[in-house]
Amino acid sequence: MIYQRSSALFAEAKKYIPGGVNSPVRAFKAVGGDPIFVKEAQGAYLYDEDGNRLIDYIASWGPMILGHAHQAVVQAVIEKAKKGTSFGMPTEIETDLAQLAVSMVPNIDKIRFVNSGTEACMSAVRLARGNTGKDKIIKFAGCYHGHSDSFLIQAGSGAITFGSPNSPGVTQGTAKDTLLADFNDLEAVRSLTQANKGEIAAVIIEPIAGNMGCIIPTDEFIHGLRELCTQEGILLIFDEVMTGFRLGRGGAQEALGIDADIVTFGKVIGGGLPVGAFGASSEIMSHLAPDGPVYQAGTLSGNPLAMAAGLAMLTELNDKPEIFESLAKKTEYLHYGLEKSLMTKNIPFQINRYGSMISVHFTEAPVVDFKSSAKGNNDTFKAYFHGMLQNGIYLPPSAFESYFLNDALSYADLDETIKVVEGLKL
């Protein structure tokens, strides 16, 4: 495939935008080459500026569960846009979406809409601190909760890709209140809670990690984490920016059988538009302004376009829960197809999968945390990524990202993907 126009557009973008992109992983620095500029998308396919059709396995990094330009979502946005795009005032549709989201998600009574997953996680931590009167939080190496200062301590995905998990601009004062543990290591969390007795406000975690590949928690770890937080008076925050409304109506809480204290969501709750949210019990949410002293605000929070798209998206998922089973079966089919094809290459690999999330790691040992994920052979990944791209398959341009399947993918698309892997020379 030829990507001449994308390369020309990238050269032009670099004159005016830092690195030529508005989010670092898009720059392809981890894999080499120039990024692809998308012109439009429909269903399971991306169409780039050079006229190439690509089978999409990132789904806008998760939220396009139904596929791109889904008719119900697009129509909802069009009709709402005709009536105005932003008011900075309450609208009825905010309550409609809040009511639906609360009915779908276990263990939350109220929800607050914000503008991004980053903002949702930042606000959730502030709420936890305000609720408990404590300052410190525990996060896990390789988990990414957005680019707020508190989270850029061994963050996942882009921060790993560029080798700078501790970003300049994050103060030592902020860093000292963020304690770090390894994913799937309950003893490390226990040690931190004992060493910082009575000082920890919250533990924040991607319950199914997606920013170091798809990493699945052991039952002992995730259930033990819930028990430990309860014992120590620590609030457990599930960052469900990726998993919310993807792994089931109730997200990872439902899938894992765990009740978190605070849950955060990303673009999926706005049908892929710029939006996020966080929710909790009425008691915890009562600390949030204007009811309580914990301040959070935003002119665009609950903007009508995102609310309309989100209501259309969640209504579809709520009314058709078979979508989740369909997605899981397609992901399982892809898993076994990839496994069969890669076994002929005489190279070590691991495939992790949960629901409609999946990742391929070119390493011998099982991938259970950031350390084991980082052992993957990046040269092999680069060859794999570009080989797939040249054959019309778009994967995350980083070895530290989960794939996200969308329901518009057909088994013919999956077979085409598997066939491409069969023909790769790695």
Q: Which residues are catalytic?
A: 144, 239, 267
Q: How far is CA 82 from CA 28, 75, 79, 85, 309, in A?
A: 37, 11, 5, 8, 14
- Say how far apart CA 180 and CA 163 lie, in whole Å: 17
- Say how far apart CA 213 and CA 370 lie, in whole Å: 9
Q: How far is CA 97 from CA 74, 92, 110, 276, in A?
A: 16, 9, 11, 12
- Say how far apart CA 355 and CA 123 lie, in whole Å: 28
Alpha carbon distance, N-terminus to C-terminus of the chain: 19
Q: How far is CA 78 from CA 69, 103, 248, 304, in A?
A: 12, 26, 27, 11
- Say how far apart CA 339 and CA 229 lie, in whole Å: 38
CB proximity list for 332: less than 8 A, separation 6 or greater: 353
Q: In whole angstroms, what separates CA 242 from the centre of its chain? A: 3
Q: Say if CB 116 and CB 264 are below 8 A apart.
A: no
Report which of 221, 212, 198 is spatially closest to residue 242, judged by C-alpha positions. Answer: 212
